[in-house]
Amino acid sequence: MGYYLKKFWALNFAAIFFCILNSVLMVVHVLMMMQMGQGLFDLDVRRFLFWMLVDTALWLVMMLANLGETYWKGRAIRAMNNEVRRDIGAMNNEVRRDIGATLLRTGYQEYHAQDTGGYLSWLTNDVKQMETLAWTPFFGVFSQLASIAGSVVALTSMHWSLLAGSVTVGVVMLVLPKLFSKKMEALGERCAREQGKGTSWLKDLLAGFDVLRFFGRAARFRTQMDQASDQIEKPQLRLTVSKAKITAGLEVVNLLCQTGLNILIGVLSIRGIILQAAMFGGGNLCGSISSGVGQLSQLRLALAASKPYFGKIRVHAGQETPGEEGALPTLDTGISIEHLGFLYDGQHPVLQDFSYQFELGKKYAIIGPSGCGKSTLLKLLLGWLPNYQGTIRIGGRDIREFTDQQLQSQMSYIEQNVFLFNSSILDNITLGEAFSQEDLDHAVQNSALINDLPQFPDGLNTIVGENGSNLSGGQKQRVALARALIHHRSILLVDEGTSALDQKNADIVEQSLLSNPDITLILVSHHLSLERKQQFDSVIELLPHRT
């Protein structure tokens, strides 16, 4: 947490300043109320009116200070929430502490071991919990400290016994909450974990909405929606109620202590040791100290509950993108595979003692029945599945020497289930990078996407919808092919990438890929015609493993 506070010290300083100013002005207001009250006791109209006017002016200042506090706290919290999600300001050689860097450093298997709903919860629910349990209490600490300090000064000017009593109460209220900090931390961790599951459940339910509606299972949708919603709300309620119980117990102790302080103020006032009007505000000042310390204790509990959310973020030093880490060197030799073997879940073999040499610029087809390891082989080449036996070399070097990002800097991967962002066709092809018009034209032409342009209302600027919902399956695959072609990767891995195309467009695309001398093509297919097989340099048939 300290990393983010330090990084935005200027914003935090402004917010802290106004938090302190508001608390001090409130103490001054209490003292002015006492002066007005004394004017009433003494029947001194001039004294009463004078302090009334001064207090009115003070309220105007307090209104402006409150506005400043709201503005600067809002800016600081917004900046820190954004920073938690993505540490945009970190330089290449600086330490990064953000969710984005953590995800980018997560391996393929580790990333896909969790449903994306869990990551969505991390980026939304968890960040909001950080705001509630960390950022807001952080500023509250300074408000309470300023209130306590101001009250101490005011009470000291009145009588030493009031200060002594308030400090005693404050110490009691400071020690008690320590007994509950670990419990709150554990509850916070449990809340984060259970809410992540609930969000994943909701995501899965929404993804299957059409299936449930098609089969008339509206009742199931409503039931599971209720259950998923409660999975999110129930742990939050548990955390809130537990915190409220602890707070209620502390407030009972605080009330008893405050009653004792009020009795002391009354005795001192009756004896004429302090202003009679001290009864109007002295109790508030004493209460500011004791309740302020109590509030500090509660804020401490909230900060303890926030630790699990920050603990999920890893610390990363140095670069994180393929270009920053150093791209894979230009290849002068192909891909060499020796005695490759892989088991899913460490138990189910899909490849065993497979060896092959893929030469640069040549075209290969991999065929075979489902479950024989075709897609697995492509993922191994991409570095996504690290726990394999045997050796894979690219450019003469073991791929274990490279990160998966470096491997992918020379590869494009097109799978059957194409993902498209909810943006324009052009953006899905270029992914936000600048390419020449010539490169774009070639990619559109060689992917056969050019034949679809008349159907798109805004051409390449047509919005594809959520995951390409406005496009057909074949159009989505053509966009994915154009995306791969325009990025000029030297190795193209295609996993049933033309399966959704009609025969005419499939022929156009495959012929374009087969005739491109700059591409090493490895294409996976369940079925290839005899004519098409003859156009590849080699056809590799994988057989299912027999136990």
pLDDT of residue 91: 43
Cα 522 to the center of its chain, rounded Å: 36
* Phi, psi (deg, nearest 5) at residue 353: 50, 45
What is the Cα–Cα distance from 29 to 281, expressed in whole angstroms?
A: 9
Contact 119, 125 (CB under 8 A): no
pTM of the model: 0.62
Residue 114: count of CB within 10 angstroms of its CB: 13
pLDDT of residue 1: 67
DSSP-derived letter for residue 466 is: G
- Average pLDDT per block of 10 residues along the chain, 547 residues long: 72 89 88 79 85 91 92 88 69 59 73 74 82 86 86 76 73 73 79 81 75 68 83 84 82 77 74 66 66 74 79 61 50 83 78 89 88 86 85 86 76 81 89 89 86 89 87 84 83 76 71 80 81 87 72
Phi/psi-derived region of residue 465, left when phi > 0, alpha when psi is between -120 and 50, beta in every other case: left
pLDDT of residue 64: 94
Q: Residues 6 or more apart from 169 whose CB is under 8 A from it? A: 254, 257, 258, 260, 261, 286, 289, 290, 293
Q: Residues 6 or more apart from 112 whose CB is under 8 A from it? A: none
What is the Cα–Cα distance from 531 to 93, expressed in whole angstroms?
A: 54
Cα 362 to the center of its chain, rounded Å: 42
Contact 1, 134 (CB under 8 A): yes
Which residue in the block uniquely carries the two structure tokens 């893929």? 358
Cα–Cα distance list, 234 to 195, 197, 289 (Å): 9, 12, 35
pLDDT of residue 88: 52
* Ordered domains of the chain (ranges, CATH): 2-317 (1.20.1560.10), 326-541 (3.40.50.300)
pLDDT of residue 264: 75
* Phi, psi (deg, nearest 5) at residue 341: -140, 145
Tokens of 445: 């032409």
pLDDT of residue 323: 42
pLDDT of residue 315: 64
Contact 199, 125 (CB under 8 A): yes
* Phi, psi (deg, nearest 5) at residue 361: 85, -10
pLDDT of residue 322: 40
